């Protein structure tokens, strides 16, 4: 298949029902944290492919954080793959949701819902965020605590860099434990709970915000941030918010 190479599944880690990290081994050239690859499988005589953000750092085996959708075009088949199974992958990573395009700022907010967390894990592992920003806030919105993938790894980073990294999980359908918030991300920004939990102010003067995940979350959060004077960042029109709308399929 032109533009594809054959990879092999080397690990599967289930975080919760219908949520897993799929790890594959593939000779893909170096990529930038935040980029994505298309994975593909031959199903019913045709190759079905979908884009997934890379969760691993450059130089590591390729990790993808996946949610299985019952009616999805590809994720049900990916969830059936066992270690050693073949899978097609792009020969080259793509995408512009990378730190290369983020302007200088004091604080970096990495806000995600669901599997939109994946590019932030890649960025955190690679380490550039710690060299470029004074404070980093990782915000992860999910329905239930069991869906907080990579929570242990993020908490270890917080402990290793006290006062530099904050982690704020939000649960929309479950009572939150200590250190978590209830509800949706836009409302937690609007009423000030998110800044209070992070110990960091969201401001046009110091903040750059990355948004990745559910398109509805991104649209609503953009509206709330706009009320604070933070606008979408474009190369020719610099701003404060960089977005990546992301759905599993």
Whether 142 contacts 114, CB under 8 Å:
yes
In 3D space, the residue among 98, 19, 5, 128 whose CA is nearest the CA of residue 64 turns out to be: 19
Q: What is the pLDDT of residue 82?
A: 98
Which residues partner with 232 through β-bridges? Answer: 241
3-state secondary structure 117-141: HHHHHHHHHHCHHHHHCCEEEEEEE
Range of the domain at 13: 4-90
Instruction: Give the count of domains, the chain.
Output: 2
Which of 90, 111, 139 is where one domain is finished? 90
CA distance 208 to 106: 8
pLDDT (tens place) for every residue of the chain, 249 residues total: 458 999 999 999 999 999 999 999 999 999 999 999 999 999 999 999 999 999 999 999 999 999 999 889 999 999 999 999 999 999 999 999 999 999 999 999 999 999 999 999 999 999 999 999 999 999 999 999 999 999 999 999 999 999 999 999 999 999 999 999 999 999 999 999 999 999 999 999 999 999 999 999 999 999 999 999 999 999 889 999 999 976 666
Is there a single domain that holds both residue 126 and residue 194? yes
Per-residue confidence (pLDDT) for residue 188, from 0 to 100:
99
Predicted confidence at residue 245, as pLDDT, reads 79
CA angle 223/97/160 to nearest 5° reads: 95
Domain CATH code at residue 80: 2.40.30.10
Choose the final residue of a domain: 41, 61, 90: 90
Helices (H), 56-200: 75-80, 118-126, 128-132, 151-160, 185-190, 193-198
Contact 21, 149 (CB under 8 A): yes
Are both 148 and 170 inside the same structural domain? yes
In contact, 185 and 112? CB cutoff 8 Å: no
The predicted pLDDT at position 3 comes to 83
Same domain as 238, residue 127: yes
CATH of the domain at 117: 3.40.50.80
Per-residue DSSP letter, 114: G
Give this prediction's pTM.
0.96
């Amino acid at each position: 298949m032109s533009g594809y190479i054959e990879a092999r599944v080397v690990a599967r880690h289930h975080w919760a029902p219908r949520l897993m990290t799929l790890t594959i081994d593939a000779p893909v050239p170096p990529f930038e944290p935040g980029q994505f690859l298309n994975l593909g499988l031959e199903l019913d005589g045709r190759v079905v492919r979908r884009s997934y953000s890379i969760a691993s750092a450059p130089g590591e085996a390729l990790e993808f954080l996946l949610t299985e959708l019952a009616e999805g075009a590809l994720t049900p088949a990916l969830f059936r793959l066992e270690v050693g199974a073949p899978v097609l992958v792009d020969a080259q990573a793509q995408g512009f949701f990378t730190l290369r395009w983020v302007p200088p700022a004091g604080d970096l907010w990495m806000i995600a819902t669901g599997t939109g967390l994946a590019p932030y894990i890649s960025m955190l592992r690679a380490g550039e965020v710690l060299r470029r920003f004074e404070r980093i806030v990782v915000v992860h919105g999910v329905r239930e605590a069991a869906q907080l993938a990579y929570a242990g790894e993020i908490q270890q980073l917080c402990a290793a860099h006290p006062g530099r990294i904050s982690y704020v999980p939000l649960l929309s359908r479950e009572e939150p434990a200590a250190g978590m918030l209830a509800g949706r991300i836009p409302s937690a920004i609007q009423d000030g709970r998110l800044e209070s939990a992070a110990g960091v102010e969201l401001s046009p003067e110091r903040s750059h915000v990355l948004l990745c995940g559910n398109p509805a979350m991104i649209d609503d959060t953009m509206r709330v941030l706009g009320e604070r004077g933070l606008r979408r960042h474009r190369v020719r029109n610099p701003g404060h918010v960089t977005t990546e709308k992301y759905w599993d399929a």
